[in-house]
Amino acid sequence: MDAEPQEAQRLATEARDRVRFEEDALALSDQVYRVARHLASSREDADELMQETYARAFRSWRSFTPGTNMRAWLLRILTNLNIDRGRRQQRAPQMQPLEANDYFLYDKLAENGDGVTDEEQVVERLSQDDIVTALSEVPHDFRDVLVLVDLGDFSYADAAQILDIPVGTVMSRLHRGRRILKRELAESALEEAT
Amino acid sequence: MMDPCAHCEQMMQPYLDHVLTDEEKEQAELHLAECVDCQRRYRFEESLRIYVRKAVTEEMPAELRQKLAALRIPLE
């Protein structure tokens, strides 16, 4: 075969692969956004991060290995960009006082609940605003893991890869992050009760 | 020996994350079957996770969707 038609065919295949890559990436954008929204500090920040992430992904599409987890790949780019933006002042998480136990929030809500102990009704005592605010109060290092696993449904292993930290660190930050979230929720619930 | 409710509390997060071994899971379930307080707390935690997810989920704005699509690299 002549070199020219061969080259033309290669270019056509590459163009087709790239178009497919872009379409697949765009089809995941809703799911990526749901996570990105809470990795970023604000809606505006999430908007910018998403655009930077997709611009970079479209430029470096060749580095994606077909058949691997594209959503995780996109979030890896996004978290790196988020860190590059200087979002984090300190890398080491601040140690905070220990958050009682895992049952603290339930006990507090049930205590103030006029005898209502049905778990779903107890949960509904928290307002949507309280929850959004409480999540934003969780320090970044803990929140990143919490958001990836609890909102993004990523496995511990995927979260470890996205954030470039060991799986053991994912587990401990997740556990701590959930407790901090519950402590924040308990504080807002107590404020409302008084 | 550790207080069974304290042990059950330690098992709660990994239980709900489905990462316990079969043996650990069975152990937790044995205790849950006989302890109403722990059952309630597990159910609360499960409801809380669902509730938090619902409360914080925001759909992507339509304008952003258009902006992302516009970032595609045109074919030469």
Q: A70-119 pLDDT, tens per residue?
A: 999 999 999 999 988 875 544 445 555 655 677 888 887 777 666 666 77
3-state SS of chain A is CCHHHHHHHHHHHHHHHHHHHHHHHHHCHHHHHHHHHHHCCCHHHHHHHHHHHHHHHHHCHHHCCCCCCHHHHHHHHHHHHHHHCCCCCCCCCCCCCCCCCCCHHHHHHHHCCCCCCCHHHHHCCCCHHHHHHHHHHCCHHHHHHHHHHHHCCCCHHHHHHHHCCCHHHHHHHHHHHHHHHHHHHHHHHHHHHC
Q: Which of B32, B47, B52 to mutate to test the interface with A (most CBs of A within 10 A)?
A: B52
Each of the 194 residues of chain A gets a pLDDT tens digit; together they read 567 888 899 988 989 999 999 999 999 999 999 999 999 988 999 999 999 999 999 999 999 999 999 999 999 999 999 988 875 544 445 555 655 677 888 887 777 666 666 777 778 888 899 999 999 999 999 999 999 999 999 999 999 999 999 999 999 999 999 999 999 998 887 777 66
Q: A78-89 pLDDT, tens per residue?
A: 999 998 887 554
| Residues of chain A contacting residue B11, judged by C-beta atoms under 8 Å apart | none
| B63 CA: distance to closest CA in chain A (Å) | 10
